[in-house]
Structure 1
């Protein structure tokens, strides 16, 4: 047996967009360190990441559900989903590409969020196993969710023997179109049912000297220095000491502009450490931004049951590597337009260890 194995089983059934009842395929990686990850072909969801603590106790550190039916409900807030074509928000659900105005679904108040009403989190992906790599592929047809161009997307997942979970997003398109994928996993390194009390104990570090200024959750186009603000996480800070100091917000929901070095490829993005369990998660990516979100808008009461307890406000955190929100409408932001003949490539690595 190799150092990493990848197996397949089923995770229920879902009616696809053509009215066909399809079996959801679930893929499970396991390495010799008792580390495991599960991904399903519906929505490209990461449904589980199990990691031992410093005493050898294994817990699932991602928030989500134990049945596929629950992922179909309105209370699912993209828990572990693959997000596309464009992650995050687009102002007023409108974009101009090559002089053409496109009106998108306004599924977040007046704005467009995470690819629209039927984004990549709500479709079946075609799955292919190559060794210990899982490749999910999806053809997004021209004008699907009113995005131009036929887009072919591939998401490659792989667990290593060194407890690194790697995701590579690749895409090509037949017409100029913004492309900005991410994964929307919610983490709690104490265990997914540990809630806010344990989340507040996490120490968070983000390699960013600026954030994108927002007005009502939408970037204004300005970049603000983090120095001498609650957003300066270049030195690790305990989350409980700062989460209630975010201006005009019940927690963090901000795009941090990653401080890039001269090296090519992936840069250190962030680290999160939970002292009680000893679990440490580091994030590396080739993307210029990361959305740090602390589950501010999850319910405060016992209404949504997850895998190991109720899913509630401040129960988990997200680190969504991506280009800046609403980049398509801000010329000074990183370019998200992919042209025919080009390939979009987004790499992210979640590295887990103990300290």
Structure 2
């Protein structure tokens, strides 16, 4: 049987092959493979620390490694935070139905026309919107034909692909996720970091150290107030800078069904709906990765799910086992062995 020491040793010895000076280097698999001007960084980047993380079981820390209190960029893990803010919008009645067209609530040029006008909130949340347009100087074309995972062939990334009807095709597209973020801010009429802090992070006892950075050109005026929209990752800089310990508290809230210390923070059933497989991609829910058929993590239970970001950032949750595992800057081949050891504790 593995010991906590075994888990810590594995994680510390399995650092992702990414530079630590992220503020100077092209981002691997992101701006590194994009031609100018598409690769222009629009938000701040920061040097990163080393591998760190922790494992919670039944809400208690059973092992930690590295410096889990260090705040680092977490890349696309931020997308899963957007899914939780969407749940808050549902709770507040700002979204009556996920299957409503977005332009029913937010009319405007972004959703003009028959194609974009058919896009629903569910389409945006499941990466199936097929939205066509440009946001913050980045066209959706940047991420067409994008592939993820080991052996991904991104030789056609950024090339034309005929769009399908919204809901008919799944594609991991950061421009479209950034559009969702802007739409949520327009619903709340306040910057999303304020909503997240007030409604989620402060109530669960997160530190005040985390930040969420936007782009230099992602400001809009809402009710006469200048606000910055934040991205669902750090593809072009910006994004969420947060500690593993705060990630773990967030993950525990999801594991506990959106309830913390007897107080419901998310609509009943929301944490189940975010991990319901998307019809056109059963490995993905609403901005969370799933383990359908145990295809993603062979050592993990099929009902496990995770928030995943580039650079080896992950919040992995096993509901029946009551486990939350947070790892930062870990090499992808080490994730399955790490999960296996965590399950055996």
Output the TM-score relative to the length of structure 1: 0.28
Higher relative contact order (CA 8 A, sep 6+): 2
Q: Larger strand proportion, structure 1 or 2?
A: 1
More helix per residue: 2
